Amino acid sequence: MNPALNILALSGFVAMFILPKVFFRSDGTMNLRWWLTAAPFCLSFHGVWLAWAGITPRLRGVDGSVALALDVAGMLVVVGAIAVMAATMATNRVPLALWHQDGGQNQPRQIVTYGPYRWVRHPFYVSFIMLSVGAALIGRDALTLAAVPLGLLSLDWTVRNEEQKLLASELGDEYGAYQARTGRFMPRMSRP
C-alpha cells in the first residue's frame, strides 16, 4: 500500500471530522442522530488505517496495473473531495447549523445557491461521499467498501430530514425553487 495515499485519505477524514468544531455554528451538539450519520465515515476512516497496518485483509487478486489504476482513481477522488469541502467552506459566509438538533438551532439563516451549491444542494455531503469512495479505492478492504453504501444511506436519511425542515421554514418557497433546479448529490443534467 502506498503510505502517501493512506495519509491523504486519512487527512481528508480529519478535515471532515473537524468541520463541526471549526466551521459549523456552535449552538448544536453531536447528539445520537449526528453520530449515526457520522458512523459510516468513521468506519471508512478506521478501514483505511487498519488496512494500511495490515490488520484487515485487502481484496485479493488486485495487483499490478489494476492496483495502480485504483490507487490513482482513489487519489483523484480524495483530492476532489478535499477541494469540494474547501470550496463549500469558502462559499458559506454564515456558519451553517449542525443538523440533527431539536428546537431553533436548525432554522436556516439563508439559502446559498452559488459556488458548489449552484450544482448540488449538499456539497459538503458530496465531499463526504467522495472521500468515502476514494478511501474504498485506496484501501480496498471490507470496512472501507462497506462504508460507502452505509454512508450513502445515512446521508440520504439526514438530507430527507434537513430538507423537510428547510421546506417548512420561512425560506421554504425559496428552497423549494432551488430544490426543483438542483440535484441533491449529483448535478442535474437538465434544468427545468
pLDDT given at position 103: 65
pLDDT at 99: 62
Residues of the chain with pLDDT > 70: what percent?
90
Residue 183 phi/psi, 5-degree rounding, is -75, 155
Is 29 a residue whose pLDDT tops 90?
no
Highest-confidence segment of 39-53, 82-96, 162-176: 39-53
Cα Rg, the chain, nearest whole Å: 17
Alpha helices in 23-111 (DSSP H): 32-52, 64-91
Mean pLDDT for the stretch of residues 111-116? 91
Higher pLDDT, 115 or 27: 115
Domain covering 3-19+30-181 in this structure, CATH number: 1.20.120.1630
Note the pLDDT of residue 60. 77
Q: Quick: pLDDT tens for 128-181.
A: 999 999 999 999 999 999 999 999 999 999 899 889 888 988 989 999 999 999
- Of the two residues 128 and 102, the one the predictor is more confident about is 128
pLDDT at 191: 57
30: pLDDT confidence band, cut at 50, 70 and 90?
Answer: confident
Q: What is the pTM of this model?
A: 0.91
On the question of pLDDT at 184 being above 60, the answer is yes
Q: What ranges do the domains of the chain cover? A: 3-19+30-181
- The stretches of the chain forming alpha helices (DSSP H) are 3-22, 32-52, 64-91, 123-139, 142-168, 172-181
Residue 127 pLDDT greater than 60, yes or no: yes
